[in-house]
Every structure is written in C-alpha cells, then in structure tokens.
Chain A
Amino acid sequence: EAGVAQSPRYKIIEKRQSVAFWCNPISGHATLYWYQQILGQGPKLLIQFQNNGVVDDSQLPKDRFSAERLKGVDSTLKIQPAKLEDSAVYLCASSSSFTGTLYGYTFGSGTRLTVV
C-alpha cells in the first residue's frame, strides 16, 4: 500500500509569513495526526482527526495554527503568521482506527520548516 504522502519536503520562509503543509493519508485510514518535532525533541501532537472531526487539538497554538481535513481524507496544516520557534519538522501520520495505536501509526516523511 502507498504510504502517507506529505508536501512540500522542505520550506524556508521569513517570520510573519504564512505557510501551509499538505498530507494525504493511507487510503481508508480514518484517523489522522499532525505532529511537530523540534530539533532534539520527540514528536509532539498538534491535532488529531477522526474522519473529518477534531478529536484533540489541545496542544495546537490556535492563535496562529489551523488545520482542516475536508471530506475525511486529505489534510492541510497552516501557520499564519510564522515565528522563529515554529522551525521544526511537521509530521503527518495516519491509522485505520483508534486501535492503530496498537501497531503504531504510519508516519509520512515530514516537512522541514525553517523560519528565518
């Protein structure tokens, strides 16, 4: 099966600019996650979708970050305006259901964002 697709792979923007990341999960996977991984740290969950509904966005900085998952398939994560501390790898992951946790999520390769 095809993996989790993410684009772009790399992005460099100036602070206060906006940026958007796209994720296409594995076909049929109902649960989708966006994680932020800052250099030297583990991935941190930003938002979790079940189909097109939000399950958990408690760690999403809602003043600047937004995410949507239209039609329960693809998802977009947006940052507006970006800050220097947003420099990180943004990882998208999907699983077939909540029980995907048993076998782990399938992660995409991530988008490396550099804010200058």
Chain B
Amino acid sequence: DQQVKQNSPSLSVQEGRISILNCDYTNSMFDYFLWYKKYPAEGPTFLISISSIKDKNEDGRFTVFLNKSAKHLSLHIVPSQPGDSAVYFCAASAFSRGGSNYKLTFGKGTLLTVNP
C-alpha cells in the first residue's frame, strides 16, 4: 500500500528553465509534507516543507504547492541549475496526531537531471 506516490521516475530539464516535481498521497490523515534531496552516496537532506493549513511555501528558488482536495503536492524549482541534479523524495506525516505518526512516509523518488 503505497501512501505517497511519485509517478515520474525521472525528469530532464534545461538549465534556467522550471523543474516541476509531482507527488500524490492517499492517506487523508497526512497533514505535513516535506521534500528531500539526495545525491549519490549521501543521505537525503531536507529541502522544504509545508503544513496542510497552507497551500504554498517558498524558499528562494524552491516553492512547494499543496492541493488538499486533490491530495497532490508539487515542488517547483526556478531557475533550475545543474547542481540541482539529484533524486527528490516527497515525504508525509500525520504530524498533528503525535506519537508514532510523526514518522515520515516517503515516495519512491524522482531523478531530476538539469542539463547545461
């Protein structure tokens, strides 16, 4: 039962253009969402997050959009840079419910390649 889905295994964009990574979830109890970035041979690193009480959160070149009714979120990177090439994981938790629900459930990841 895959509760967090990233249906695009890979995405290739040109440097300077926008990268849009998508994520869908099925568990309506999820109320906190995060994006992680992972380079080869390294652990995932936190990128940006959003609470379900918001529909947008922005941090520099990175913006996350949340559509609760569609159970869908997306990460926009503008402008994309070659250094952004990595695997991006979407993750979710039922944060407000506390206890073991704080745990993060991850999607399978999307490999982003930004071409110079």
Report yes or no: A102 in contact with B100, Cβ–Cβ below 8 A. no
**How many residues of B sit at the interface, in one of the four size bands?**
20 to 34
8 Å CB contact of A42 from B4, B34, B103 = B4
Residues of chain A within 8 A (CB-CB) of B9 are: 40
- Interface membership of B93, Cβ < 8 A: yes
Q: Smallest CB-CB separation from B89: which chain A residue? A: A42
Report yes or no: B32 in contact with A42, Cβ–Cβ below 8 A. no
Q: How far is the CA of A33 from the CA of B91 in the complex (A)?
A: 15
Report yes or no: A98 in contact with B98, Cβ–Cβ below 8 A. yes
Report yes or no: A109 in contact with B41, Cβ–Cβ below 8 A. yes
Residues of chain B within 8 A (CB-CB) of A98 are: 98-99, 102
On whether A107 and B43 interact (CB within 8 A), knowing A43-B89, A98-B98, A101-B32, the answer reads yes
8 Å CB contact of B104 from A40, A45, A109 = A45
8 Å CB contact of A91 from B43, B100, B102, B109 = B43
Interface size counted on chain A using CB atoms at 8 A: 25
- Interface membership of B65, Cβ < 8 A: no
Report yes or no: A103 in contact with B43, Cβ–Cβ below 8 A. no
On whether A108 and B43 interact (CB within 8 A), knowing A98-B98, A102-B49, the answer reads yes
| Mask: chain B, 87-109; 1 = CB below 8 Å from A; 0 = not | 00101010100111011111111
On whether A42 and B109 interact (CB within 8 A), knowing A48-B103, A55-B99, A101-B32, the answer reads yes
Q: How far is the CA of A44 from the CA of B109 in the complex (A)?
A: 12
Residues of chain A within 8 A (CB-CB) of B34 are: 101, 104
Q: How far is the CA of A33 from the CA of B44 in the complex (A)?
A: 13
Residues of A18-51 at the interface with B, using a CB-CB cut-off of 8 Å, are 33, 40-45, 48
Q: Smallest CB-CB separation from A54: which chain B residue? A: B100
Supply 4 further A-B pairs (C-beta < 8 A) apart from A98-B99, A109-B41: A42-B109, A45-B103, A48-B100, A105-B46
What are the nearest 8 A-B pairs in CB distance?
A104-B46, A107-B43, A42-B106, A56-B100, A98-B102, A101-B102, A43-B106, A42-B108
- Which residues of B are in contact with A by a Cβ distance under 8 Å? 4, 6, 9, 32, 34, 36, 41-47, 49, 89, 91, 93, 95, 98-100, 102-109
